[in-house]
Amino acid sequence: MDQTRAHHPVLYLVIPCYNEEQGLGVCAETLREYFRTTLRELVSPDSRVLFVDDGSTDNTWGILQALHAGDTLFEAVRLSRNRGHQMALYAGMMEAKDKADCVITIDADLQQDIRVMPQFLAQYSEGCDVVYGIRNSRKTDGFFKRWSATLYYKMMRFLGVDLVEQSADYRLLSAQALEELAEYRESNLFIRGIVPTLGLKSGAVHFDVRERTLGTSKYTLRKMTGLAADGITSFSIRPLRIIMVLGILISVASLIKIIHAVWEAYFGTPISGWASLTVSIWFLGGVNFIALGIIGEYIGRTYMESKKRPRYFISDTLLHAGGESVTHDSAGDNAQKDAVPEKES
């Protein structure tokens, strides 16, 4: 890609939202002020803040409607149901793909330091297509979350998944990066793992995370575990190989036990029935592990993708794009635009 970048790129700030009615007003007002002061001389007037309502059950969408009606800075799309943080991020980036020179993704709680956005844009202007936001520390996290995050990155490295350690979903992607990201068709998206595989010029910006002041974290232990599982299964088959190796080791152990049982039968004082029972359990257990590992090698790669289900549906849009309404196809990929009045409900 041409390393010469516009001095005032069209920036879209993509913000996934799920039940954020408590803090959404503060988030919007903070960003409105930031765009009109700090970012005013750095980005195009066509830049936007794009909220993605991930199937919220509270008044999040009503607040977004009011924000959109009151200021052209704010746009929003609503997914028909909750699809998870990663899918909401992806939906927002795909919505912005054909309009923006670059996109920055950030969470609605604004715990990530927005003051480093000029650093993201500076590296973009120098030719970086990907700029990672990397946490300086995890001092705002509790003990369990710090411990589990450290273990998570170590486990992902062991399993061969290429992650930028301590990076978050606070990052900048150029239009080219978005185009390449759109080529990834898997259903279980793990954006943190996909972005490093793009192979584009990248940079990094370090930032601090502040304490949450409004609302509660939507990343429960169940969701964090699910995200970790998606990352592992999307980018590594090593767990299946570990299972197969374990099966081989158990089978070898069972053979040793057979030899021991035979020895006891001829030279020792065997316990009646014990040898045959333990040998059969160990041997069949080892065979089962080997079989599951081999079958899993094939099924694990094809099962989720073979269903080819739609990624998401967008039920409503609030855009300022010349009065056009935008509807997405069932796969959540291609957009069709019709010159009809925009609907805000």
Q: What does the domain layout of the chain look like in residue ranges?
A: 11-236+309-338, 238-306
Tens of pLDDT along 40-55? 999 999 999 999 999 9
* Cα–Cα distance for residue pair 85/14, rounded to 1 Å: 12
What values do phi and psi take at 197, rounded to 5? -80, -5
Q: Which helix (H) or strand (E) holds 75?
A: strand 74-79
Q: What is the pLDDT of residue 30?
A: 94
Mean pLDDT by 10 residues, the chain (345 residues): 67 95 92 94 94 94 95 95 90 94 94 93 94 79 63 71 75 95 83 87 89 57 61 67 78 79 70 66 76 71 73 89 44 41 36
Closest by Cα among 273, 244, 251, 246 to 261: 273
Tens of pLDDT along 256-289? 877 877 777 777 665 566 666 777 777 777 777 7
Tens of pLDDT along 86-100? 899 999 999 999 999
Q: What is the pLDDT of residue 12?
A: 97
Q: What is the pLDDT of residue 251?
A: 79
CB 15 within 8 A of CB 107: yes
* Cα–Cα distance for residue pair 88/197, rounded to 1 Å: 20
* Cα–Cα distance for residue pair 30/27, rounded to 1 Å: 5
Beta sheet of 102-105, edge-to-edge order: 202-207, 130-135, 167-174, 102-105, 11-17, 48-53, 74-79, 314-318
CATH architecture of 11-236+309-338: Alpha-Beta Complex (3.90)
Q: Is the dihedral of CA 332, 333, 334, 337 positive or negative?
A: positive
Q: At what angle do helices 238-267 and 274-306 cross, to 10 degrees?
A: 170
